[in-house]
Amino acid sequence: MQEGAELIPSLSAVAAPGGLIADDVYCAFRDEIVAAARATEPDGIFLDLHGAIASESTNDCEGELMTALRQVVGPSVPIAACFDLHGNVTRRMMEASDICIACKENPHSDYHLAGDRAAELLVRTLRGEIVPVSSAVWVPAVLRSKLETGSGPLRDLHALRSRLMVEQRSVLDVSLFNCHSQLDAYPGGQCVTAVADGDPGAAAAAAETLARALWERRTEFAPDLPSLDDVLTDMRSGKLSGRPVILGDYGDRVLAGTPGDGTYILRTLATQWPELRVVAPVTAPDAVAAAKIAGSGGVLTCSVGGAFSPHEKPVVAEWRVGRLGDGNFVQRGPYLAGEPAVLGDCAVLHSGNLTVLATSRPGLTQDPEAFLSNGIDPAHYDVVVVKSGFHFKLSFSGIGPCIAIGTPGLSNVEGGMFPFRKRQRMWPEVADLEPELTATVFARR
């Protein structure tokens, strides 16, 4: 490391979004990281975390991990953490750490910059150049749409965030966490954090200013995704002329934890525009197993998809089996560039205008390599469906127009598929909420 620090790695683990982590797995991972801190007695701790991990026994895995680390290293060893901006910031996370910051962009193109910033602040703390003081304001609001940071209200709010750091030089970071609307964990909602150099008033003021600006604009985040009909109308009229059109299946986002077996777009295009060449990934383990028996070049009649998501329907057809594969590939990025991904055993199935990338596991398909590694060139299609709402716009950039559309499914933009039992009461479910939006300051030194 250029600052002259010796890095002592502990554990790195990644999982696709989904249900709760089994407790034995989570506890083993937590204990391994804590044991590494105990054994090595580090001068400082750097954590690269998502921020919304929940296990069978706790909704606050990161907070529990950070608290356990604090107990091991004592009060004087600085702990810095960088998070995905969709993290669910808890009081325990703030109490246990010195520096908590989020990435700033959705789609996420700046994980590395957030990590650099957290590491830089940690090193400056160790050198005695700064004394970090943190603050947090929790904003009890569910934001369902307009969640990209390069446009709409979040673009303006991030411009304000940047100005706050310029105007008050003691403010070292301001982060805006947009917790997932469907996460059922306390507190949920939004959180603004700030880190200032020895200046609790500045940390509090920066977080409160941004939190109040977010609250003022909360009604602008109402669902407004285009429908499949909207896109087809634009394609027919020539208003949308680029090919292939990359459609983000917002209601069935595997990156939001869905099964990835939604077939709404496939079924609609098969009946409404049969000359349009369409390729879509669908989680369909039974179809993959049947295709492996039929073999490449074989023909079979079976249903594809609609087996796991409630209210979904399968596509039943006679399929010609194309390539069979093991589903392992490396993402080209820029989102998650170089990271391995797993689709499980795969079968490419053709029927009429439809090509299905049948996977045996819900797979990350926001990256072109998911298709290319299975012999599917997106350039040969009019429509490419991906199970992603944001990040495909980074990785499919330059291949065709990228549009997230409102579709049915467990991650649909309107929500309402599950009752919430754990998160705090939030706007707009509670219409007359009037939160104080005052900062809590966390000054550990």
Proportion of the chain in helix, strand, coil states, percent, rounded to 5: 30, 20, 45
Q: Which is nearer to Zn ion, 102 or 376 (CB)?
A: 102
User: Which pair of structure tokens corresponds to residue 384?
Assistant: 């490419």
Task: Indicate the residue among 247 and 255 with the shorter CB distance to Zn ion.
Answer: 255
SS3 342: strand
Question: Residue 30 or residue 86: which is nearer to Zn ion going by CB?
Answer: 86
User: What mask, x for binding Zn ion by CB under 5 A, covers residues 170 to 189?
Assistant: --------------------
Classify strands 245-249 and 383-386 as parallel, antiparallel or unpaired: parallel
Distance CA 167, CA 297 (A): 65
Q: Which residue, among 52, 55, 117, has the nearest Cα to 90 in the 3D structure?
A: 52
Residue 20 Cβ vs Zn ion, minimum distance, rounded to whole Å: 18
Closest residue to bound Zn ion by CB: 86
What's phi and psi for 166, nearest 5 deg?
-75, -40
Instruction: Give the Cβ contact number of residue 6 at 10 Å.
Output: 8
User: In whole angstroms, how close is the CB of 103 to Zn ion at the nearest point?
Assistant: 8
What is the Cα–Cα distance from 179 to 354, expressed in whole angstroms?
36
Q: Which of residues 82-141 bind Zn ion (CB under 5 A)?
A: 84, 86
387 binds Zn ion (CB under 5 A): no
- Type and span of the H or E element at 372: helix 369-372
In this structure, are residues 276 and 381 in contact, taking their beta carbons and an 8 Å threshold? no
CB of 337 to Zn ion, least distance (A): 16
Place of tokens 């407004």: 224
Locate 241 and state its tokens: 């002329």
Nearest approach in angstroms of CB 47 to Zn ion is 16
Cβ 265 to Zn ion, closest distance in Å? 23
Please state the closest distance from residue 331 (CB atom) to Zn ion, in A. 15
The one-character DSSP state at 252 is G
108 or 243, CB closer to Zn ion?
108
Cβ 102 to Zn ion shortest distance, Å:
9
> Per-residue contact track with Zn ion, 35 to 64, x per CB under 5 A?
------------------------------
Report which of 260, 238, 254, 184 is spatially closest to residue 421, judged by C-alpha positions: 184
- The residue among 315 and 394 lying less far from Zn ion, judged by its C-beta, is 394
Question: Minimum distance between the CB of residue 268 and Zn ion, rounded to whole angstroms?
Answer: 28
Phi, then psi, of 136 in degrees rounded to 5: -145, 140
Query: Which residue, 84 or 312, is less far from Zn ion as judged by CB?
Result: 84
Binding residue count for Zn ion, defined by CB under 5 A: 2
Closest CB to Zn ion among 150 and 375? 150
**Segment interacting with Zn ion (CB under 5 A) among 77-85, 132-140, 147-155, 373-381:** 77-85
Binding site for Zn ion (CB under 5 A): 84, 86
